[in-house]
């Protein structure tokens, strides 16, 4: 809003200065043109006869009696009539030429409402003058100036405000539609420059709210389905413990309860972890680091627990491959992909790291059954599993790959799946090197 106020203030200041200078220049040019030409003929017809009679009468009078005669007859006309030497008066070059040709020159004072008429006496350097004659002040000029000024100001403000009004109208429609439940609606980004930040913030808020609602719905669905099975097992084991007297059998069912409680704890932890990544924007520490070191560290944990599999890493660099990333986020991402590969690989898992088009690219290949093409688009959505069994050992609840996708988005990168040269699935991560 501060930026909008500054823009409006500057527009008004520039408009006032620009219109003032433009109108003033126009008036000066108009006045100059009228003084040189238009004044030569204004109201001449009205006083042409008067000058003719005065000229004829003054020529018959001696020089000493002319001014006295004019003084006497001035009272009959209602305005002053004088006879002056041409050299005592100030005229423009065009006016002098017109006077020398027996023409009549009129001089106006619009502000005071006065006018004078001049004509040269025949065969003389004396000039007859009529006036000042009082006329109605020319208020139309002031009215025209004010009209031009305010009309120009209104036009400038309209041209500046119309895109703002249009953009705010579109934003209001988007907000109303969003408030009615259409969470996919977004404000148009092609709008007035002062509104771009507001529109971007609205769209960002709308995307976040849409994601929060979707996350809430998915979590509710997951809780209703994923938690029900271990809770039912615990309830069954408790009933069996109550009915059995054999200590050995009781311990067996108590162990079942303990296992299911641990499973519940893991489910809750996985749900909360996904909710945290999906709803909040984690404060990532993006630093230039060696991605190869992180990859080898992630592999080493699974080499110990999955000794039956060959888990190797290949890279183009001999020792280091530097790029920018958050260490914890990328380690979690690789951990999810390698764990997923361990579930389905038959004998081998291979990591490949390289740089292509200013992006770091990581492949996680396995020699399992692979991912069907028709299922690849939805594989990174939350709670999606190719294996529909409820056994978490065969694939969890489908949040691992959703978190991988989210972490890649936070790195301004992407995650995808393809077919590996080993015959199984190839999970591909890529994000900018810098």
Q: Is the pLDDT of residue 380 over 60?
A: yes
- Asked if residue 168 belongs to a domain, the reply is no
Q: How confident is the model at residue 334 (pLDDT cuts 50, 70, 90)?
A: very high
pLDDT confidence of 392, banded at 50, 70, 90?
very low
Q: For residues 31-43, b (16+ Cβ closer than 10 Å) or e, as one string?
A: eeeeeeeebbebe
pLDDT digits (tens, 9 = 90+) for 266-295: 777 777 777 676 666 667 888 999 999 999
Q: What percent of the chain has pLDDT over 90?
A: 9
Domain end point (choices 237, 253, 279): 279
Residues 113 and 132 sit within 8 Å (Cβ to Cβ):
no
Whether 356 is in a domain gets the answer: yes
- CATH code, domain with 86: 3.30.450
Average pLDDT over residues 300-318: 81
Q: Residue 2 pLDDT > 60, yes or no?
A: no
Pairing of the two strands 348-356 and 310-315: parallel
Give the mean model confidence (pLDDT) for residues 59-70: 84
Looking at per-residue confidence, does 282 or 49 come out higher? 49
Which residue did the predictor score with more confidence, 140 or 93? 93
DSSP string, 244-298: ---HHHHHHHHHHHHHHHHHHHHHHHHHHHHHHHHHS------EEEEHHHHHHHH
Q: What is the pLDDT of residues 161-187, one digit of tens each?
A: 778 778 888 888 888 988 888 888 888
Tell me if 162 is assigned to some domain. no
4 found inside a domain: no
238 and 334 within one domain: no
Residue 32, in any domain of the structure: no
- Can you give the pTM of this predicted structure? 0.50
Q: For position 41, what pLDDT does the model report?
A: 42
| Residue 316, pLDDT score | 56
338/272 same-domain check: no
Q: Domain total for the chain?
A: 3
| Residue that is last in its domain, among 81, 116, 137 | 137
- Rounded to an integer, the average pLDDT of 394-403 is 68
Q: Do 261 and 292 fall into the same domain?
A: no
Range of the domain at 102: 37-137
Q: 31 in a domain, yes or no?
A: no
What is the β-pairing status of strands 104-109 and 81-85? Answer: unpaired
Q: Specify whether 128 is located in the same domain as 248.
A: no
What pLDDT shows up at residue 38? Answer: 41
Cβ neighbours for 423, distance < 8 A, ≥ 6 positions apart = 367, 368, 370
The pLDDT value given to residue 430: 93
Residue 138 binned pLDDT confidence (cut-offs 50, 70, 90): low
Residues 309 and 411 in one domain: yes
Same-domain pairing of 274 and 325: no
Mean pLDDT of the chain: 80
Q: How confident is the model at residue 159 (pLDDT cuts 50, 70, 90)?
A: confident
238 and 130 share one domain: no
* Residue 403's CATH number: 3.30.565.10
For residue 427, what pLDDT is reported? 93
β-bridge pairing 414-419 and 81-85: unpaired
Mean pLDDT within 248-270: 83
Phi, psi of 319 (to 5 degrees): -125, -50
**Together in a domain, 297 and 421:** yes
pLDDT, tens digit, for every residue of 86-100? 888 888 888 888 888
- Is pLDDT above 80 for 394? no
Judgement on whether residues 232 and 319 belong to the same structural domain of the protein: no
Which of the listed residues 137, 158, 185 is the one where a domain comes to its end?
137
Q: Is residue 78 part of a domain?
A: yes
| Confidence at residue 393, expressed as pLDDT on a 0 to 100 scale | 47
Please, which pLDDT band fits residue 3 given cuts at 50, 70 and 90?
low
**Residue 148 belongs to some domain of the structure:** no
pLDDT for the residue 269:
77
pLDDT attached to residue 396: 56
Does one domain contain both 81 and 43? yes
| Domain shared by 130 and 245, yes or no | no
Helices 2-36, 193-226: crossing angle, 10 deg rounding:
160
Give whichever of 23-32, 93-102, 233-242, 344-353 has the largest mean pLDDT.
Answer: 344-353
Q: Looking at the structure, do residues 273 and 302 belong to the same domain, yes or no?
A: no
| Predicted local distance difference test score (pLDDT) of residue 33 | 52
* Residue 391 confidence class, pLDDT cut points 50, 70, 90: very low
SS3 111: coil
């Amino acid at each position: 809003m501060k930026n909008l106020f500054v823009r409006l203030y500057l527009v008004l200041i520039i408009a006032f200065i620009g219109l003032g200078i433009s109108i003033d220049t126009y008036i000066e040019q108009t006045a100059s043109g009228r003084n040189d030409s238009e004044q030569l003929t204004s109201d001449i017809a009205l006083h042409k006869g008067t000058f003719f009679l005065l000229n004829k009468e003054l020529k018959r009078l001696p020089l000493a009696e002319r001014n006295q005669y004019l003084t006497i007859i001035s009272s009959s006309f209602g305005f002053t009539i004088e006879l002056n030497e041409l050299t005592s008066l100030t005229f423009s070059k065009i006016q002098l030429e017109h006077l020398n040709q027996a023409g009549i020159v009129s001089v106006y004072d619009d502000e005071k409402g006065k006018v004078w008429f001049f004509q040269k006496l025949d065969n003389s350097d004396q000039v007859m003058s009529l006036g000042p004659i009082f006329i109605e002040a020319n208020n139309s000029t002031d009215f025209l100036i004010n009209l031009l000024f305010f009309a120009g100001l209104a036009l400038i403000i309209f041209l500046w405000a119309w895109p703002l009004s249009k953009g705010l109208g579109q934003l209001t429609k988007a907000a109303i539609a969003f408030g009615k439940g259409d969470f996919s609606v977004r404000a148009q980004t092609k709008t007035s420059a002062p509104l771009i930040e507001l529109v971007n913030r609205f769209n960002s808020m709308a995307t976040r709210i849409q994601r929060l609602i979707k996350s809430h719905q998915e979590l509710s669905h997951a809780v209703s389905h994923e938690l029900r099975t271990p809770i039912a097992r615990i309830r069954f084991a408790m009933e069996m413990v109550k009915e059995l007297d054999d200590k050995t059998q009781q311990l067996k069912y108590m162990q079942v309860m303990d296992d299911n409680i641990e499973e519940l704890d893991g489910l809750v932890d996985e749900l909360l972890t996904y909710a945290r990544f999906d709803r909040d924007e984690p404060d990532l520490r993006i630093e230039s680091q060696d991605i190869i070191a992180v990859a080898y560290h992630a592999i080493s944990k699974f080499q110990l627990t999955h000794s039956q599999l060959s888990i190797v890493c290949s890279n183009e660099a001999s020792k280091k491959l530097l790029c920018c990333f958050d260490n914890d986020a990328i380690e979690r991402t690789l951990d999810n992909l390698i764990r997923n590969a361990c579930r389905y690989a038959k004998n081998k898992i291979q990591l490949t790291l390289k740089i292509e088009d200013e992006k770091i690219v990581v492949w996680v290949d396995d020699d399992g059954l692979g991912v069907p093409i028709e299922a690849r688009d939805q594989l990174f959505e939350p709670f999606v599993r190719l294996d529909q069994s409820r056994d978490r050992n065969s694939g969890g609840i489908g949040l691992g790959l959703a978190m991988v996708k989210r972490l890649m988005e936070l790195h301004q990168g992407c995650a995808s799946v393809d077919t590996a040269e080993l015959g199984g699935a190839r999970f591909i991560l890529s994000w900018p090197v810098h």
